[in-house]
Amino acid sequence: MNTVFRSLISFGALLLFWGCNPGPPNISIKITEGEYTNKYLVSAKIYWGSYEPTQMKVSSNKSCSGGSWRSASSSFTHTLSGSDGIKYISVLLKDKDGESTNCASEGITLDSNSPSGDIEFNSPQPVSSRTVSFDLSYQDNLGVSQMSLMESSNCKTTNWENVKNKKTITLSKGNGMKDVSIIYRDKAFNQSPCYTVSINLVENTDLILGQLHVEGTLIKDSAGNTVTLRGVNIADPQHLDNKPWERPGVSARIVAENAIENFNVNVIRVPIHPGESNYPDEGWFSPKNGRQKYFDNHIVDLVDYITGLGVYVIIDLHYISDYSNLQDEVLEFWEFMAPKYADNPFVIYEIFNEPIYPDNWNTWKNTIAQPGRPLIQSVGTILSTPHMFIQTNLKVLGRKISDRR
């Protein structure tokens, strides 16, 4: 009996061994790029332990369907297909005996589109505090995850952080225009364009009080102090910037710097020549280099620099001529220029440099001064002398300036 019993036990154990087939070997796959990618070509690794595969099949789905067999490798690259969204890669292995493994798969989110956004500074300028706050907005098909905001004009990224709708920073010391830029990126590391906003910092609050108005025949600041403007007139900035053979080593910015640093001026007059037919490439109304191009190349940086130091700028339409046929040109110029510095209290507008003929006040008033007055006054106040009209972006109208101390 003992011999028979032992034989039955041995036979049962053998049957039990045959019935407990462990099944196909288990493998796993790991996509190197992680959960997100902005590229269609990705890399992956296969982990198969002690299994010895000879062939592999890679498919663009979760079920290992499709694809073709090839020599097995523990790492490979694969090209994703279709539009943005979740993509799957699956792998099947088999050994020399044709025994296959389980189907291993992993997903990754493809995001090939860059996010977009904006930065806004909604406080009045100039500001007297270096601590400033910005309103931020951003959007992306699959979500924006990080941002980098810095005092810079070119988004040289130094510090990524989670996105937020508002950000406060401390500007660098010193009066002047401060550029602040921001760039956004999503989870796939797509980056947005660089967005920039400029802040006019004037830490000296006395300069902020330099907003002018007229009381009787006097110019005064917002604290009621009488202001005497003492300054210089420079040459047309386009001439200064574009004709080094006439004035070697000189530009409009260099002239302004010299006036501010060495002559202690508090106002600089910037005459903008309208141009003439003999010089078609010069002047504000030049078909080639005028208007927006003139403004971008010769006015923006110059005015920002001067007013950033708390020094006034008089923008002068520098006609010296008969004015009877110039109404359209004058209105066109001020329709462009008047709104540009509506929020800058250090910019003054001079409608027309020297009206020559007709030498009649009523004619001048009806032809140039009165038509231009509502346009420019919409951003402030007109200050006038018998031979010029000056515009500042204030709220009090003066009739005549006689104090020339």
Asked, for residue 11, whether it belongs to a domain, the answer is no
CB atoms < 10 A from the CB of 344, how many? 19
Asked if residue 207 lies in contact with residue 227, where contact means CB atoms within 8 angstroms, the answer is no
Q: Is residue 8 part of a domain?
A: no
Q: Indicate the pTM of the whole model.
A: 0.50
CA separation for the pair 86, 122 (Å, rounded): 39
* Total number of domains in the chain: 3
Q: Does residue 378 share a domain with residue 279?
A: yes
Residue 185 lies in a domain: yes
Q: Is residue 4 part of a domain?
A: no
Q: What pLDDT score does 206 carry?
A: 54
Domain that holds residue 220: 205-392
Same domain, 270 and 354: yes
What confidence score (pLDDT) does residue 401 get? Answer: 29
**Whether residues 260 and 367 fall in one domain:** yes
How far is residue 399's CA from residue 348's CA, in Å, rounded to a whole number? 16
Per-residue HEC secondary structure of 271-298 comes to EECCCECCECCCCCCCCCCCCHHHHHHH
Please state, rounded to an integer, the average pLDDT across all residues of the chain: 82
Residues 138 and 276 in one domain: no
Task: Give the per-residue pLDDT at 397.
Answer: 33
Which ranges of 20-118 does DSSP label H, i.e. alpha helix? none
Pair 189, 233 in one domain: no
Within-domain flag for 397: no
Domain C-terminal end among 201, 226, 259? 201
With respect to residue 404, please indicate whether it lies within any of the assigned structural domains.
Answer: no
Residue 29 CA to residue 46 CA, distance in Å, equals 5
Read off the CATH number of the domain in which 180 is found.
2.60.40.10
Q: Which helix (H) or strand (E) holds 331?
A: helix 327-337
Q: Please indicate, yes or no, whether residues 306 and 241 belong to a single structural domain of this protein.
A: yes
The verdict on 245 and 333 lying in the same domain is yes
Q: Are residues 178 and 322 in the same domain?
A: no
pLDDT per position as a tens digit, 364-391? 788 887 776 665 655 444 444 334 344 4
- Asked if 176 and 215 sit in the same domain, the reply is no
In order of 48, 195, 214, the CA distances from 349 in angstroms are 78, 30, 15
- Tens of pLDDT, residue by residue over 9-26, are 554 544 444 445 556 788
Beta strands at 75-79 and 41-47: parallel, antiparallel or unpaired: antiparallel
Mean pLDDT for the stretch of residues 27-31: 95
358 upstream amide cis, omega within 30 of 0: yes
pLDDT at 290: 87
Q: Is 397:360 a contact under the CB 8 Å cutoff?
A: no
Examine the domain organization and report whether 166 and 152 are in the same domain. yes
Residue 334 inside a domain? The answer is yes
Residues 160 and 295 in one domain: no
Q: Looking at the domain assignment, is residue 209 inside a domain?
A: yes
246/326 same-domain check: yes
Q: pLDDT-based confidence at 360, cuts 50/70/90?
A: confident
